[in-house]
Structures are given as C-alpha cells and as structure tokens.
C-alpha cells in the first residue's frame, strides 16, 4: 500500500513522525508536510504564488518533503509527486479537532484534499494539555483504526480524535450544536487593544458525539462527507416547488 502522510503542524512535528511510524507497518510511507505550522488554516489552497517542495532529512529515515504551502497544498503536491497513493493520513495533530473545529482544521483539510483527489483518507488528532505529547498509548489504536478503515467497505473520509488514556473505539457524530468560540480582549506592550479568538466548549456534549467520546476516554471516529448540501431542506423545498401552482 502506498501511503502519503501529511499534517498542519509542520514537517518537524512529533505527531507526524509518530503517525508515519504506525503507517509504515501497512506499506510504503512518503511524507509531504508544510515547512511551518499551518494550524487552523482550514482548506486554504495557494494560488497567488508558485509552490515548491524540498527533500528533508527526518528522524527514522522516512522519505519526507517540506512544502511552502498549506496542508491541502501538501497533499496535492504529494499525490502529484507520487503519481497517486492508496491512502492519505493526516496528523497526528497537536490538539483535538472536535465539533466546529472540523470547519477550520488544517489536519482535516489535508485528509479532505486526499478524498477530493480520489484517495481514501483519515485525519488523526490528539488531546494535549500543554505537556510534551507521548503517543505510546495511542499507537495501538491508530494501528487498529488504519486496519479497520482500509479493510472492506468503509467510509472514505474519517476524522479520528485520540484521548490521553484511550480505552476503546466509538463511531461518533460531529457535535456541531455546541458553539465554542469567544473573543478575549488584551493589551499589547504599547497599550493598544488586541484580541484573541478562543475556543471553549459552552455546553455539555450530546451522547455519541465526538466531544462526548473524548470525555469518556474513547477514540472518536466520525465519518465525514464532502457534500455540505442540507438534504432535508432541499427535499422540503423541492416538495413545495412541485406542489405550488406556478
């Protein structure tokens, strides 16, 4: 199996190496990752300047390239360079990507870019609370997830979140109802106002959501799709249109 590994934290993130290590048990791994951190850039692509990629030496001897672009660019460059792949993996992100994080996550976008270009993909993110990340407890679960999602009929795009002390796997839905953004005001050294957009969960998560799974020490697997069309509304609007006298 040809596996392209990317992320949004940059080519030297420890999470990238950890994911490549697990992936190498399933096939040939090549890494294409941003040359600096691109967290929260979402599915941005670079169209105003040329893209370049360069081979870098990585620990563990992986074939790796740094790209002067976004996570989505990295996957496009990687698939171009390799002439395709059988699987795209993104992560392991330094921090979870739950609920509305999915909208701005570069980690999820890299996986999404793989699916847009016709390759099955999985995004991995891990809860961290400021301490140095350690992946030993997560690695067996990452291996199990890759095995599960590359065997038989499985969703082509899955957002995986790993708790600090995993005890099992759970299929979940995205907890979109729990808005988690607020603006925090501060002051720079010259006394000028500035602002931080801070993500904080405001309500308890509903059962079987991604956030709920993480709160219960379960590895959360959320199948995602590319279409954002609201099918319920579309059906209702079409029914009204067909029933109208016009």
Which window, 5-13, 132-140, 174-182, 199-207, contacts Mn ion (CB under 5 A)?
A: 5-13
Which window, 31-39, 46-54, 171-179, 217-225, contacts Mn ion (CB under 5 A)?
A: 31-39
Interaction pattern, residues 167-196, with Mn ion; x per rule: CB under 5 A: ------------------------------
Which position has the token pair 């790209």?
Answer: 67
H-state helical runs in the chain: 14-23, 71-82, 101-104, 106-116, 139-149, 210-215, 231-243
Cβ closest to Mn ion, residue 158 vs residue 240: 158
What is the rounded CA–CA span in Å between residue 126 and residue 157?
17
Instruction: Please report how the helices 139-149 and 14-23 are oriented relative to each other, as an axis angle in degrees rounded to 10.
Output: 50
What is the rounded CA–CA span in Å between residue 123 and residue 176?
18
Which window, 3-11, 76-84, 111-119, 182-190, contacts Mn ion (CB under 5 A)?
A: 3-11
Of how many residues is the chain composed? 246
Cβ closest to Mn ion, residue 8 vs residue 21: 8
125 binds Mn ion (CB under 5 A): no
39 binds Mn ion (CB under 5 A): yes
93 binds Mn ion (CB under 5 A): yes
Cβ closest to Mn ion, residue 39 vs residue 161: 39
Interaction pattern, residues 46-85, with Mn ion; x per rule: CB under 5 A: ----------------------------------------
Cβ closest to Mn ion, residue 126 vs residue 209: 126
Task: Report the residue closest to Mn ion, judged by CB.
Answer: 39
Select the residue interacting with Mn ion from 3, 6, 8, 74 (CB under 5 A): 8
What is the rounded CA–CA span in Å between residue 141 and residue 227?
28
What is the rounded CA–CA span in Å between residue 26 and residue 143?
9
Shortest CB 233 distance to Mn ion, Å: 33
Residues 139-168 that bind Mn ion (CB under 5 A): none
Rg, the chain, Cα only: 19
Between strands 121-126 and 87-94, the pairing is parallel
Nearest one of 38, 97, 49 to 72, comparing CA atoms: 38
What is the rounded CA–CA span in Å between residue 110 and residue 123?
8
9 binds Mn ion (CB under 5 A): yes
Cβ closest to Mn ion, residue 8 vs residue 35: 8
Binding residues for Mn ion, rule: CB under 5 A, are: 8-9, 39, 93
């Amino acid at each position: 199996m040809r596996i392209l590994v990317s992320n949004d934290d940059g080519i030297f993130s420890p999470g990238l190496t950890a994911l490549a290590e697990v992936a190498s048990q399933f096939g040939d791994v090549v890494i294409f990752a941003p040359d600096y951190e691109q967290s929260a850039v979402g599915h941005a692509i670079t169209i105003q300047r040329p893209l370049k990629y360069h081979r870098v030496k990585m620990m563990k001897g992986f074939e790796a390239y740094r790209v002067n672009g976004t996570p989505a660019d990295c996957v496009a460059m990687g698939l171009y360079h390799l002439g395709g792949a059988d699987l795209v993996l993104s992560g392991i992100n330094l921090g979870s990507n739950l609920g509305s994080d999915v909208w701005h996550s570069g980690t999820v976008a890299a996986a999404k870019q793989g699916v847009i270009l016709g390759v099955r993909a999985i995004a991995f993110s891990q809860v961290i609370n400021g301490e140095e990340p350690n992946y030993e407890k997560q690695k067996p679960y990452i291996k199990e997830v890759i095995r599960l999602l590359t065997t038989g009929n499985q969703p082509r795009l899955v957002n995986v979140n790993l708790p600090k002390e995993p005890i099992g796997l759970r299929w979940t839905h995205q907890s979109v109802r729990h808005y988690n953004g607020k603006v925090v005001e501060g002051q720079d050294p010259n006394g000028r106002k500035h602002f931080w957009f801070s993500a904080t969960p405001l309500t308890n998560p509903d059962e079987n959501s991604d956030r709920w799974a993480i709160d219960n020490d379960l590895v959360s697997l959320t199948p995602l799709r590319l279409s954002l069309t609201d099918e319920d509304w579309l059906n209702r609007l079409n029914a009204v249109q067909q029933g109208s006298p016009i």
